[in-house]
Chain A
């Protein structure tokens, strides 16, 4: 398409402006995380300063250490993702492939569970966990997280399963493979890409969770999203440690997300373009 020079310039300027607006807060967080307090509070904001690792030392050792909280996040997000994939994948496969008598009802039901606002779940989960003596435990939060990781895992995996060609399974079954063998040896290997993308996406969602962690965690179990919130109090904001904590908290999700960016974009847009 032939585009006039003026239009082209406007386009580039607009796009660059948007990119700046999106990327700047993240870059500025990185920059601030290596500033000493005296550099944080220079006005106007400046890029000329002596970088320091003091903030990172503060949040990885000593009284304000986040290492334990990071580990909590890894354990909870990791186990809930694993469980969600374990029970979610077979269900997604069944929705995509098997004849189910209640297929439509179950499908609508799953979609419904995907759309439940978390504020409606946090309260009963709170009461149920108290009743089961599971408040402030890894197990408790892991199970509660299933209420959003499982619907998400199913929702994403169904479309990957639907895209799978059926021929290989059919051939395997004719070769005396049972349905389970066909699923294990033929379907799973083909689903590798979708499985990886879904696992990453579910893990990111669990890692980023805040409301459940805030209401159902406590002194023992405090995921990093809640822990970093403590760097802001009414009296003062610990800018350096806060931004260092933010960088550490976003690092895993950004790395994972960029690794799987094609699949994640495809997952986000799936169903809305068809």
Chain B
């Protein structure tokens, strides 16, 4: 970063600006050194406020979270509150409900990410072939991304998935699949929230794949066509490998987001029926803000942070290996 800058300085500034003032070399050097003098205070001025606010709003709370996880901190029964070491973590290890929520989150994340990536690629490839209407598709794709997840959850809960009047229910009745209680039936609820999440975020995957496809030279695809490869072969042998970096990025980002999905699912089911859609974050929220066990909630949150971090690191490693 710094080296090209220095070169630029010499190239662009040099003679044409100071030719008339005589001895440009020395003046330039004096000016540069003066600038260099001010560089570090200037850098501090630019950097320090941002870093301080970041530290105060993100890092300090995280440290506080780790601290709290070592305490019994129940707002409902404050009498027994105090330092308990790693007891919260011991409790967590044998908390079936936590492990169930973790399994649910894993299933939720894996299925929605796979759906988002495959639908996103498929649509990007299809739209790429269209000569008109791409702007329209992009606009439509942007809409769900812009909506608040909680609004999405509420819309799906009421208009789309309600048993008696919902559109999905109407369609399923018309198609002869019968009327179902999409969010109220424990065996259907998880699938329903996966569909809902996938609906909102597939456009994100689509936009990235479509931008990535736009950078692929058309000649490559055309050459393959001349070689007699059919559409399916072209897709697997050319498109997918070319999109590989984009796929890795989408998988990383969508996994992190799906792992910490809360708003839409909470709005749609509140984690229910029972614990059928109780993803990890919903369980943590219930423990912390409904049972008001802040200490145990903190331990759960720490565990979740560690898991998220580990998953992210593994993906980043894979990305580096792929590149």
Contact call A246/B154, Cβ cutoff below 8 A: yes
Selected contact of A113 from candidates B35, B54, B245, B250, CB within 8 Å: B54
Select A123's contact among B18, B147, B250, B298, beta carbons within 8 Å.
B298
Instruction: Take A119-B281, A146-B57, A210-B150 as given contacts and tell me if A45 and B165 are in contact as well, using a CB distance cutoff of 8 Å.
Output: yes
Q: Are A249 and B151 in contact (CB under 8 A)?
A: yes
Which secondary structure dominates chain B's binding surface?
Answer: helix
Query: Are the CB atoms of A120 and B304 closer together than 8 Å?
Result: yes
- How many whole Å from A15's CB to the nearest CB in chain B? 6
Q: Does A147 contact B (CB under 8 A)?
A: yes
- Docked Cα-Cα span, A11 to B130, in Å, equals 8
Contact of B13 among A147, A171, A242 (CB under 8 A): A171
Q: Which residues in chain A, 52-73, are within 8 Å of chain B measured between CB atoms?
A: none
A186 within 8 A of B: no
Q: From B2, B140, B211, give the contact of A22 (CB < 8 A).
A: B140
Instruction: Kindly list chain B residues whose C-beta atoms are within 8 Å of the C-beta of A43.
Output: 164-165, 170
**A185 smallest CB distance to B (angstroms):** 15
Q: Is A199 an interface residue (CB 8 A)?
A: no
| Contact (Cβ within 8 A) A1 B221 | yes
B226 to chain A, nearest CB (A): 11
Q: Are A116 and B155 in contact (CB under 8 A)?
A: no
Interface extent on A, as a size class? 35 or more
CA distance A231 to B150 in the complex (A): 13
CB-based contact A87/B143 at 8 Å: no
From B51, B123, B148, B302, A253 is in contact (CB under 8 Å) with: B148
Bound-complex Cα distance A234 to B152 (A): 18
A137 CB-CB contact with B under 8 Å: no
Given that A119-B301, A147-B58 are known contacts, is A88 also in contact with B151, CB under 8 Å in the complex? no
Cβ B50 vs Cβ A90 within 8 A: yes
Q: How many whole Å from B130's CB to the nearest CB in chain A? A: 7
CB neighbours (8 Å) of A127 from chain B are 64, 68, 294
A117-B259, A117-B260, A120-B302 known; A94+B47 contact, CB < 8 A: yes
User: Does B45 have its Cβ within 8 Å of any Cβ on chain A?
Assistant: yes
Pair A22/B199 contact, Cβ less than 8 Å? yes
Find the residue from B5, B50, B170 having the highest chain A CB count within 10 A.
B50
Give the secondary structure class of A's interface: helix
Shortest Cβ distance from residue B133 to the other chain A in the assembled complex, whole angstroms: 7
Q: Chain A nearest CB: distance from B237 CB in Å?
A: 17
Candidates A173, A175, A229; contact of B154 at CB < 8 Å: A229
Q: Is the CB of A166 within 8 A of B156?
A: no
> How many Å from the CB of B201 to the closest CB on chain A?
11
Of A22, A118, A121, the contact of B203 (CB 8 Å cutoff): A22
**What residues of chain A lie closer than 8 Å to B309, measured between beta carbons?**
115
Residues of A contacting B159 in the complex (Cβ-Cβ under 8 angstroms): 25, 28-29, 32, 239, 243
Is residue B322 within 8 Å, beta carbon to beta carbon, of the partner chain?
A: no
Q: Does B110 contact A (CB under 8 A)?
A: no
B285 touching A119, Cβ below 8 Å:
yes
Q: Given A44-B170, A128-B61, A261-B138, does the pair A272, B147 have CB atoms closer than 8 Å? A: no
- Beta-carbon contacts of B42-76 to A below 8 Å, as 1s and 0s? 11011101110110011111101100100000000
The 3 closest A-B pairs by CB, nearest first: A91-B50, A208-B148, A124-B61
Residues of B within 8 A of A (CB): 1-2, 5, 8-9, 12-13, 17-18, 28, 31, 35, 38-39, 42-43, 45-47, 49-51, 53-54, 57-62, 64-65, 68, 119, 122-123, 126-127, 129-130, 133, 136-152, 154-160, 162, 164-165, 167, 170, 199, 203-204, 207-208, 211-212, 215, 218, 221-222, 225, 231, 245-246, 249-250, 253, 256, 259-260, 262-263, 266-267, 280-281, 284-285, 288-289, 294, 297-298, 301-302, 304-305, 308-309, 312
Chain A to chain B contacts (Cβ below 8 Å), 9 pairs: A12-B130, A41-B165, A98-B42, A120-B62, A120-B301, A124-B65, A261-B139, A268-B145, A272-B249
Partner-B contacts on A (CB < 8 A): 1, 3, 7-8, 11-12, 14-15, 18-19, 21-26, 28-29, 32, 40-41, 43-45, 83, 87-88, 90-91, 93-94, 97-100, 106, 109-110, 113, 115-128, 143-144, 146-147, 150-151, 154, 166-167, 170-171, 173-175, 178-180, 204, 207-211, 214-215, 225, 228-229, 231-232, 237, 239, 242-243, 246, 249-250, 253-254, 257-258, 261, 264-265, 268-269, 271-273
